[in-house]
Structure 1
Amino acid sequence: MSTIVVFGAGGTAGSRITAEAVNRGHLVIAAVRRPEATSYLPDGVRTVTGDATSERSVREVAPDADALVVAIGGGGRELWRTAAQTLVTTLRQMPAAPRIIHLGGGSTLLTPRGTRYLDEPDFPAQYRDAALGQADALDYYRTSADGVTWTYVSPPPLEFHPGERTGHYRTGGDEPVTDEQGRSVLTYEDMAVAIVDEIEQPRHRNTRFTAAY
């Protein structure tokens, strides 16, 4: 059994990661900004007020954790890089730091032409700040995260939505995993499976991976 802290446990992705981890017997600490609004989380989850961009919050939950999952959203472009920087700089100071699992953006994956999806001319303007913010976070992990263990997880660039938990998925690196029709699809439920699998059996240390059917 591992102790897993989920920052953003009240959100669409975070709540599913929390449920998946609890159902497998892990101890989960839900670090959220409004604990009173998370009554729908599974029994046995310990809920605390927490913020991945706060060094104080990270220091409070990290010592007893095996993994810190970042599943946050709802902020401006700077949110995700700030969270990455806060986690890395704080954990570097700890003798036995937990691993970081950062649920990032699918738009940072590469198109068949080798460009990022977020750089495509038709990329939706309303998602651009979030996409750039997740790209900033990935760049930070890759260039500045010496001394900690991290994994950045990207969903498919387009078709990522709530749905059925099948327990099946395939993984890739910097390019989307596609089916025979060229589609890259995954549910939030199976992304949760992939993330908890990675915590239980690490295969992608200090790198990015993506998952899809």
Structure 2
Amino acid sequence: MTNIAVFGANGTIGSAIVREALRRDHRVTAVVRDPAKITGRHADLTVTTGDVLDPRSVTAAAKDHDVVVSAVGGGDGPGHLATIRPAAEVLTEGLRTLGARAPRLITVGGAGSLRTPDGKQVWDAPGLPDFLLQIMHAHGDALDHYRTVTDIDWTNLSPAATISPGDRTGVYRTALDDLVTDDDGNSTISVEDYAVALLDEIEQPRHHRRRFTVGY
């Protein structure tokens, strides 16, 4: 049994991660700004107030946990430039305070910086709206920050180009910095199978201090 703290636990991706962790009999602390928004109850679920942009709050939430997951800004979160990159900096700052007792950090990343089969990046596709490009580049900036961090055991998990609620199949493929696509060039993953991949990484760590991605 692993003790897991999840920031952004009431978002679409964060709540799926919580459900998958509880399904596997882990202990979960949901760290949210408004605990009243967590309506489900479970014997292994604790709900606490926390702020991913406050290093002292991060330290307090992370203490005595094995893994911290940040699902803030994972596609349905509070935003982009004002949250995603600053949260990356605050998370690492808050965990550093715990020194050798710092838990592993796993963060929900973005697909924008992944390489496409033509050698470009997802965010280079024509016609993408500005708000989406802002979110993509904010995730890219956060990843750039994590890649400078050598004293925290971090992992960044980028979804496929399209992620949405769907079925939990437990089947997926992974890559490192290249977009996972099917034979028709589509890149998709359900929120549920994204959560499966993230929990698999918690239980069987393979990607220390690097990004990987998941898709069908």
Q: Normalised by the shorter chain, which TM-score bucket?
A: over 0.9
Amino acid at match of 1:89: E
Answer whether contact 2:59 2:97 (CA < 8 A) is retained.
no
SS of 2:28's equivalent in the other structure is strand
Counterpart check, 1:128 vs 2:133: yes
SS of 1:183's equivalent in the other structure is coil
Aligned to 2:146: 141
Aligned to 1:156: 160
Amino acid at match of 2:71: A
Answer whether contact 2:150 2:209 (CA < 8 A) is retained.
no
Answer whether contact 1:19 1:41 (CA < 8 A) is retained.
no
Separation (CA, whole Å) in 1 of partners of 2:19 and 2:175: 24
Aligned to 2:59: 59
SS of 1:78's equivalent in the other structure is coil
- How far residue 120 of structure 1 moved from its aligned partner, in angstroms, is 2.8
Q: CA RMSD in A?
A: 1.3
Amino acid at match of 2:3: T
Segments of 4+ in structure 1 off by > 6 A?
A: none
Aligned to 1:206: 209
Aligned to 2:8: 8
Counterpart check, 1:82 vs 2:103: no
Amino acid at match of 2:118: R
Separation (CA, whole Å) in 1 of partners of 2:154 and 2:165: 25
Aligned to 1:188: 191
**Structure 1's 176 and 76: CA in aligned 2 closer, same or farther, altered over 3 A?**
closer
Separation (CA, whole Å) in 2 of partners of 1:113 and 1:180: 15
TM (normalized to structure 1)? Answer: 0.94
Aligned to 1:24: 24
TM (normalized to structure 2)? Answer: 0.93
Give the percent of matched residue pairs that are identical in Structure 1 and Structure 2: 45
- How far residue 52 of structure 1 moved from its aligned partner, in angstroms, is 1.5
Pick the aligned partner of 1:170 from 173, 177, 201: 173
Aligned to 1:50: 50
Number of residue-to-residue matches in the alignment: 211
